[in-house]
Structure 1
Amino acid sequence: MAENASKKKQSWWAPAQKHLMTATGYMIPFVVAGGIIFALAVMLSGKPSVPTTGNLGKLASIGSAGLALFIPALGGYIAFSMADRPGLAPGFITAYLATQIHAGFIGGIIGGIMAGFAVKYLKKIKVPNNYRTLTTIFLSSI
């Protein structure tokens, strides 16, 4: 009895973990690059505050933008892992919208999962071969 419950948990968790780990691998460069650029701007300013003017202010803005993109990247690549390339743009967009409503990290994950499931099931709609390319471009993006 306990083995069946453990298999159910594992069967649910294993794909979810795979999608999260795939997305995390793609998200890490955004965090690392953004963090290093941002830290470099603060370090070069010589003050314990974020520079807001001049070239160092611009450098800090670039680093901040990189850090701001990590949630949309996470959601986009969760959807990519679930639904392949057609899920990428909807995942990025839903995770970006999650950041706009201040849903944070968890909102980005939920947005990516929702987009991944939606695109995965939209791909199962039977379409004549003549329209298959249009379906990939238009229907998946909606």
Structure 2
Amino acid sequence: MLGLRKVMLLALFIGTPAMAQDIAEGERLFHYRCAVCHGLEADGAGLMAPVLLLQPIDLTQLQRANGDEFPLKRVVWRIDGRDPLVSHGSPMPVYGDFFEGRGISLKTNSGQAIMTSQPIADLVAWLRSIQH
């Protein structure tokens, strides 16, 4: 099985057409992998939050906290481990391996391409959909 980084590198060399993002699948992945820390409502009030050194942020406020622009690159890189976060004495669990799948290219508002996997793209689509 190819790791996320290998899939992304392979996609860079062969090119990856844009694929549709599945918001419902992103929500399912969030509730399965992320809600225990980030909360069912993605508000940072998950069951594990009290034991974490750094409290999870309110993920519904990502866009507002970033000058009304969704921080796509930072979110993708935080999930797949390219931008580690120390939360409970060690990096935030790197879920890149859990979100392996077909490589996909997303574009930031500035047009920068970001390679990731389809599951992470779905998760990011859902996070975008819940911004206040």
Q: TM-score, normalised by structure 2?
A: 0.25
* Higher RCO, 1 vs 2 (CA within 8 Å, ≥6 residues apart): 2
- Structure with bigger strand share is 2
- Structure with bigger helix share is 1
Q: TM-score, normalised by structure 1?
A: 0.24
